[in-house]
Amino acid sequence: MRSKSSSATEPSQLDSEKAPLVDNLPNASAAPALEAAAGLKQESSGCFMGISKRTVAGLAATGALLLIFAASAWIPDPGCIHGMVFPSQLQSASSDGRIDPARVFLSIPSTERLLENLRYYSSGTHVAGINYTQASYTRDYFEQQGIDAKIVEYFPWMNYPVDQRVALYNTTNNKVVFEAGLREDVVAQDPLSEDPNNLPAFHGYSADGNVTGQLVYANYGTIDDFKALEKAGVSVANKIVLVRYGRVFRGLKVQAAELHGARGVLIYSDPADDGFSRGKTYPDGPWRPESSIQRGSVIRLQVYPGDPLTPGYASTESAPRIDPKDAKNINHIPSLPLSYRDAEPLLRALQGCGANVSTIADSWVGGLAAKGVEYWTGPSELSVNLLNRVEYKTVPVQNVIGRIKGSEDSEHAVIIGNHRDAWCAGASDPSSGSAALLELARALGELMKLGWRPRRTIVLASWDAEEYGMVGSTEWVEEKIDWLRANGVAYINVDNAVSGTSFAAQASPMFKRLLHSVTRQVPYPNSNESVYDAWLRQSLAEHRLGSASTESVAHASANSDADIDANDDDGASAEKPHKPPINLLGSGSAYTAFMAHAGVSSLSMAFSGIPGAYHSNYDSPKRLTSFIDPDMKLHQAMVRIWGLIAIRLADDPVIDLDPVSYAKDVRKYIKMLKKQISAQSSDDTASAAALGRVRNLHAAQRQLLISSHMVERDRKHLRAVYGEDCQMKSRRRHASCIKLRESINDRVFGLERHFIDPEGIPSREWYKHVLVGPGRSLGYGAQVFPALAEAAEDGDWRQFQVHVKHAAETIYEAAWFLREV
């Protein structure tokens, strides 16, 4: 591996693979492009294929026009789908004569290129710290598109598997009754299932250890589940705890077990959540087969992400490190993931021991009941030996950072990112997003060949070591924190771009208007709908079914803005959402440091819904193209959405971030907080007093809403009096226009920063956002007003009063900031 670190690990066999597919533009015929330029290709609906005549007229002076069509497969005009016209696509040039980059961009993304990219990135296991080849490939690809790019290395402390064992045995005669295979079956049709570099059963940041104890089943391993065991008279002290994936982040399951005195934790994928109970299993269908193992990190994500030994600052090669025993985001008992095939004998060994889980709650019964398994709590008569040998070391990880310098306002930047590392081949997570990032880079490169440059800088980031706990992105944000807080316009994240067919998004409320607008412009594959239409339809169907979010490849929060208030002004209804839901941002992907630590408004999105291969050897291109996106059009749609949002934020004269939506959502957050207090508090008097103090938040929220409307009035005034482009001959009017436009932009992208508290959330100070952050007992899931919610949960009403006052002051200060013209 090319690294300055003497502790670097050697590259895997990925470094010796065949030369990557980085080629020049294909030798495609120019005839389709010439036909389109002449307006000859036309459907019966009257919609032209390709770009419009007006666009052609604006570009005819350059031969670069042909490169667009030679570089991508010919596709129908995104403004026309089976005769349906998207009106916002019909303009092809802006008022100042510049090309309309969004219009041209939509015709560029190629499904063939996306498939090539996907096959490259998921050609083998590429774990963090041992994928330098892919880092250099990504950098070189960016550079070939005319994008300045470099590799930025950090040196975090990470673990790798050495030896694992799970055995069930009789302590009386030491006879082994069952030994877990801890391996996934080979699928004959899928060569990646037998890649010699595939990882064994493993948890990132798990503790090294060899422990033995009786077995106890604890359902999903939530705090409430452990409380239920205590109520049933079952102790997990000195036991091995068996829990299933779902509900909360896996690191919280291990932490909860540790806090209750357990010696070790086994986490299995139950078929009720992700297996044969959901449908046909791979290779016959997309769902998780019986031998499939879900790897993943068990870092204490809710404390802080990133390198455990450099909390709050970047893990550069020379950075000081804390002692590992002082790292607060590391668990101290060993853990391993299991398949449900390996979990079945363990569950059968519990039969008749302790309490039948139906006496606790029917929700404790999993899908293996269909195979005659009875779910009991234990403790078991037999014992379990859990061996987890891991090696911890400091290793270099590589972020790839590309930069397209802005033409007018180069200091301010829009950042778009995807992580590159995977536990296995990672076709969905994250290679579908990595494939999309490369194609987005190529499309931006084609625009630059036409002479286009964004007004603001665009930064493209390919992160490493995200799977361990957002390490690469966190270290970069910690190093660039001052620059980001001064200049970061927004961060747009795509992790696993395609793992299902349902569009989903988590975002700061600042993105609502823009995201709804863009998804209306992009066709949903193989339909007469836009992505927006399909998104709304799918969310309404899920709402009717009452489906609940679980921990999945989408990392989606269970908190949706459509489920909060039946009478809110934006039309969201608890019974029937008027707009597609945008979830709150908790944690679980690379946006975490941007939003929760730096205060940069963030968006994360995906086509999700079928997590049946998540973090397993079966997350392969074969499965992805067989059952989820056979024609790669979902990937293409994601590139279009991602690119349009980036172009709009980087190139529109006035940044389309929406403080009014934010102010309205703050009111929703307050209502959510009040419901939590009412539901949690056993002290009615204290609860009533706390709810009374929340009135301060309501008053602050009203001021924020008033100030937000002032920004919108300024935006309307700019359009009506000057025009957003500030194209006028009078120097005085031009200067006034520029000043007002800069003021609007500074306020809308700076608003998020005003919800950042430098002191952070008590006991987990790295998280600094006052309004929203990952829940202390959720991990991935979001919690509104986290400091207040946690004080209420702890019954610390004195601290609650302090935090209410501070939160109200923070909102008031944000409101006054929006009035600074």
The last residue of one of the domains, among 394, 415, 443, is 394
pLDDT at 678: 85
* Same domain, residue pair 99 and 114: no
% of the chain residues with pLDDT over 90? 79
- Report the CATH number at residue 692: 1.20.930.40
Name every residue whose Cβ is closer than 8 Å to that of residue 19 and which is 6 or more positions away in sequence: none
Between 450 and 58, where is the model more confident? 450
Interval 571-605: pLDDT, tens = 333 445 589 999 999 999 999 999 999 999 999 99
- Mean pLDDT throughout 405-416? 97
Give backbone dihedrals phi and psi of 3, rounded to 5 degrees, phi first.
-155, 150
Question: How sure is the predictor about 27, in pLDDT bands with cuts at 50, 70 and 90?
Answer: very low
Between 348 and 40, where is the model more confident? 348
* Same domain, residue pair 553 and 646: yes
pLDDT of 493 > 70? The answer is yes
pLDDT at 404: 98
pLDDT at 683: 67
pLDDT of 343 > 90? The answer is yes
Count of all residues that appear for the chain in the document = 821
- Report the CATH number at residue 632: 3.40.630.10
Question: How sure is the predictor about 688, in pLDDT bands with cuts at 50, 70 and 90?
Answer: confident
Tell me, yes or no, whether 59 lies in a domain.
Answer: yes
* Same domain, residue pair 696 and 602: no
The last residue of one of the domains, among 594, 619, 651, is 651
Number of domains comprising the chain: 4
Model-level pTM?
0.87
Question: How sure is the predictor about 648, in pLDDT bands with cuts at 50, 70 and 90?
Answer: very high
Question: How sure is the predictor about 729, in pLDDT bands with cuts at 50, 70 and 90?
Answer: confident
Name every residue whose Cβ is closer than 8 Å to that of residue 809 and which is 6 or more positions away in sequence: 700
Tell me, yes or no, whether 8 lies in a domain.
Answer: no
- Mean pLDDT throughout 458-467? 98
* Same domain, residue pair 750 and 813: yes
pLDDT at 765: 97
pLDDT of 29 > 50? The answer is no
* Same domain, residue pair 256 and 375: yes
Tell me, yes or no, whether 1 lies in a domain.
Answer: no
pLDDT at 679: 82
d(CA 24, CA 119): 18
CB 181 within 8 A of CB 342: yes
Closest CA to 216 of 335, 341, 382: 382
* Same domain, residue pair 599 and 722: no
The last residue of one of the domains, among 651, 684, 713, is 651
Tell me, yes or no, whether 26 lies in a domain.
Answer: no
d(CA 268, CA 287): 15
* Same domain, residue pair 646 and 669: no
Q: Which two tokens stand for residue 429?
A: 């997570």
* Same domain, residue pair 98 and 118: no
- Mean pLDDT throughout 121-134? 95
CB 387 within 8 A of CB 240: no
* Same domain, residue pair 431 and 383: no
* Same domain, residue pair 267 and 354: yes
* Same domain, residue pair 797 and 757: yes
DSSP 8-state assignment for residue 281: B
Question: How sure is the predictor about 733, in pLDDT bands with cuts at 50, 70 and 90?
Answer: very high
pLDDT of 211 > 90? The answer is yes
Interval 508-555: pLDDT, tens = 999 999 999 999 999 999 999 999 999 999 999 887 776 443 333 333
Tell me the range of 499-508, 685-694, 723-732 where mean pLDDT is highest: 499-508
Tell me, yes or no, whether 64 lies in a domain.
Answer: yes
Tell me the range of 463-472, 685-694, 719-728 where mean pLDDT is highest: 463-472
- Identify the domain containing residue 570 by its residue range: 110-154+406-651
pLDDT of 443 > 50? The answer is yes
pLDDT at 61: 38
pLDDT at 50: 34
- Mean pLDDT throughout 398-414? 97
Average pLDDT, the chain: 87
CB 304 within 8 A of CB 198: no
Q: Which amino acid is at 130?
A: I
Report the DSSP beta bridge partners of residue 463: 419
pLDDT at 66: 40
DSSP 8-state assignment for residue 792: H
Tell me, yes or no, whether 436 lies in a domain.
Answer: yes
d(CA 482, CA 764): 21
Question: How sure is the predictor about 682, in pLDDT bands with cuts at 50, 70 and 90?
Answer: low
pLDDT of 569 > 60? The answer is no
d(CA 360, CA 374): 14
**24-to-141, 155, 444, 525 alpha-carbon distances in Å:** 11, 35, 16, 28
- Mean pLDDT throughout 11-38? 30
d(CA 542, CA 527): 19
Q: Which amino acid is at 255?
A: Q
Tell me, yes or no, whether 643 lies in a domain.
Answer: yes
Interval 251-281: pLDDT, tens = 999 999 999 999 999 999 999 999 999 999 9
Tell me, yes or no, whether 3 lies in a domain.
Answer: no
* Same domain, residue pair 778 and 679: yes
- Report the CATH number at residue 314: 3.50.30.30
Between 461 and 729, where is the model more confident? 461
Closest CA to 168 of 388, 338, 389, 386: 386
pLDDT of 227 > 50? The answer is yes
pLDDT at 552: 35
